[in-house]
Amino acid sequence: MTFAFDNSYARLPDRFYARLPPEPVEEPGLVKLNRLLAEQLGIDADALDSAEGIAVLAGNRVPKGADPLAMAYAGHQFGNFVPQLGDGRAILLGEILTPAGERFDLQLKGSGRTPFSRAGDGRAWLGPVLREYIISEAMHAFAIPTTRALAAVTTGEQVYRDAAMPGAVLTRVARSHVRIGTFEYFLARKDSDALKRLADYVIDRHYPEATRDERPYRALLESVVQRQARLVAQWLGVGFIHGVMNTDNMSIAGETIDYGPCAFMDHYHPSTVYSSIDHRGRYAYGNQPRIAQWNLARLAQALLPILDVEQDRALEMAQSAIDAFPQRFETAYLDVFRAKLGFREPHPEDAELVTALLEAMAEANADFTNSFRTLCDAVEGDETGLRAELGACAGLDDWLARWHLRLAREPMAADDRAGRMRRANPAVIPRNHRVEAALDAAVEGDLAPLDALLEVLRTPWQDDPTTSAFQRPPEPREVVRQTFCGT
C-alpha cells in the first residue's frame, strides 16, 4: 500500500522533535475504519483494511515514505506553565498530500513511549480512543474545524489506569499538530531562531496570505486570533465544552484538537463543567471565550522576540491583536446565533435577544439542543415543543413576541426560514449518556451501539423517527456528570 508522503515538519531542525518509530503491539485488530476519509486522503481503504494496513495503523509497520517523530512543545496547563510536554504517547508518521493537493498530518495516538512521556506509558485504551473518534467525526459533521479520526485499532495488550483496560491506537488526521505550546517551548529556551523558523513554517503551511503583509508575524498572530474566535463561537453554538483548553491543546491551524474530557451540554447553564480534572470551572462552557483570549495572549508573548526588534513596538502589536479578540469573537458568536434564531442580517437588538433566550433556558433548566431545535417548529407556528422545554420560564411569551417582531424585519416564507434554521440547529448531538453506553458496549465487544451512534451523527441535521431516541435527553439514572481524560 502507498501513501503520498511529503514530510515538511521533519525537515525542520532536530530540536523541534525526537525521531523514533512507534512501538509494535502484540495483536492488532481493526475496530473502526473511516472509509470516506481514507478516500478523501487518497488512501486505498481496502488496503487499510488488510493485515498490512492494520499493521500500519497499529504502529507495527512503518510505511514507505514516512518519517516518524514525536513533536516537542510546552504548555500552560490549567494556568501553570510546564516548559516541556511534547508527544508523550503519539507519533507523527508524516504528512500526506491528497489528490486535491491538500496537506494533512497522519498521527498515531497511543503508539508507545517517547522521550516526552515523562512517567506515562505512552499507550491509550479503547474507551478514550473511541470517544475521540465519535466526537471528532460529529464536529466534522457540524462543519466545525476539527482533527479527524481515520481508524481505531485494538492492540491485544492491556493498559493499566484504575484497572486493566484494552489497549488501542487512534489514527488522527489534522491540518497540522503545531500548537500554541509549540511556540511557548522555544520561547522558554530563548531560541529566537527556532521561533522564527516555526512562524515561517506556520505561515507557509496555514497562512500564506501573511507573506504579503509588511509585518508577516503580526499578520500571523491576527489570523490565529480570528480563527480561534470563530472556532470557539462555533463550539458554543452546539453546546460543546472542550474540557481542557490548555495551550498545548490549542491548534495554530484553528482546528479542535485533543478530545479528552470533552462533552456536549444537556441542560443549559453557562457554568456547566463535565471534566473530572477541571475542579474550579476554568474551562466551563461560558468561560471558553475568555480562556481562548488568555491562551492567545500566551502566543503573542511567545512571538514578541520576532514581532519587532524594538520591544515597545512588538508589545504594541501583540496587545493590539489580543485586544481585538473580544470584538472578533462577538461578531462570530452573533453570526452563529443569528442563524440559530432564523435571522440573516445583523440588527442592534440581536445580542439582547440571544442573551434573553439563554437566560430563559437556564431558568427553565431547558435542554440546549432541543430548545433551539424546537424554535425551528415555532417559526412555522408550532410552539408545542418550545413550550415543553421553556414552559417554566415566566418571560417566554414576551420573548416570543419580540422574536416574531424581529423575524418580521426580514420577510421570508416560514418553511424556507425553518429549513435554514434546521441547518444551524442539529437534531442530534453526541449526548454523553449515549457516548458512554456505546463505549461500554464496545469495550465488551459489542460495536452495534457505536455503529448506530456514528450513523446518526453523519447527518445530524436530519429529523426523522429513526433519530428520535438519539434526541432524547438522559433520564435521571442516565445522566453523566463527569467525563475523564484518557491518560
| Residues marked as catalytic | 248
d(CA 380, CA 394): 23
In single-letter form, the type of residue at position 105 comes to D
Task: Write out the three cell numbers for 139.
Answer: 464536529
Phi-psi region of 35 (alpha: psi -120 to 50; beta: other; left: phi over 0): alpha
Give me the DSSP letters along 64-131. Answer: TT---EEE---EEETTEEES----SSEEEEEEEE-TTS-EEEEEEESB---TT-TT--SBEEHHHHHH
Task: Write out the three cell numbers for 1.
Answer: 500500500
Of 186, 207, 233, 482, the closest CA to residue 337 belongs to 233
**Interacting residues of 280 by C-beta distance below 8 A, sequence separation 6+:** none
Phi-psi region of 452 (alpha: psi -120 to 50; beta: other; left: phi over 0): alpha
Environment class of residue 72 by beta-carbon count within 10 Å: exposed (0-12), middle (13-18) or buried (19+)? buried
d(CA 305, CA 321): 16
Torsional sign, CA 228, 358, 346, 370: positive
Angle, to 10 degrees, between the axis of helix 368-378 and the axis of helix 414-422? 160
Helix (H) or strand (E) run with residue 333 in it: helix 325-341
d(CA 123, CA 261): 17
Partnered with residue 108 across adjacent β-strands are 91, 171
| Cβ atoms within 10 Å of 20's Cβ, excluding its own | 15
Task: Write out the three cell numbers for 118.
Answer: 515523562
